[in-house]
Structure 1
Amino acid sequence: MKLTIAVALSHNAELLILDEATGGLDPSSREGVLEELKSFVSKSNGGILLSSHIMSDVEKIASHLIIVKDGEILLNEEKDKVLKSYSIVDVDEEQLALINKDIVVARRSHGSYFNVLVSDVHKLPSGIAHRTISIEEMSVLLTRSEK
């Protein structure tokens, strides 16, 4: 894969379409590929469409997130907005009923409580604690959601 990316970069492409570009690489090689891709974007004003299951790589390089499951787009949002506004709350059924349904993106039941992904932490009722999320945690909740 590293050779394929090197060839694409050498042709001054305006858009790279990469499927699992860092899959199968050791951490050091993955980091090297990501650095080359970032350099490509900053030097050429080119773009990258990256498909990956390695969310830590996505979090490092992406500016926009599209999460897909079974051909359905579950999320299509700017990464910075997701990291600033989205949050996960762990609530019981009574607290869940207090949350505005318009901000509930996904939820998953764990017996007596729910993990809930919300799109605007500022619209949560007072008293409901929230936590920051990683792209990986959000992706798992979205793709395993009951909503």
Structure 2
Amino acid sequence: MTETSANKGAQINGPAPDSTPAQRHAVDSEAGALAARLKAIIGEESVSSFARRCRLAESVLRTYLRDGRMPPLDKASVIAAAAGVSVDWLATGRGARVAAQGSAEYRIDGLATTTSPRALALDTSLLERIVKTVLHEQGAQASAEQVAAIIVDRYQRALDRRAP
């Protein structure tokens, strides 16, 4: 797997041709669930306005809403930060919906977000679950070493963005 394939959102258009009806239903359900979570966080705000807050092209956000595309991790982080939800919840629908609140402030692609200092510590199991979920949703596979490399890369990018 390359960095490029890890960063691209993939349309959830169905499992492999030899999949079972239950597997096909699960993929269709997850695509609908992702779109429902996105609609829930956008709420009454226009898609155009929310896309601007996320610094995403409106067409990209509409694609995620319409086609059930799983955003790449960097875009999912920006969307989650703009909406004040956790990336884990956005990606999977599990875990805490609301991002931790506290006194420390950090920025993701220029979006200010607050969180507790404890939450800024690296949660490797959470990052691993997020990366594996995104890869799974994109139909990609990665070895444990590749997953670790993606986690380290994303964490380093987040730290670089926080640097003054």
- TM-score higher than 0.5: no
TM-score tier after normalising by the smaller chain length: under 0.3
**Greater RCO (Cα-Cα under 8 Å, separation 6 or more):** 2
Going by fraction, where is helix more abundant, 1 or 2? 2
Going by fraction, where is strand more abundant, 1 or 2? 1
What's the TM-score, normalizing by structure 1? 0.26
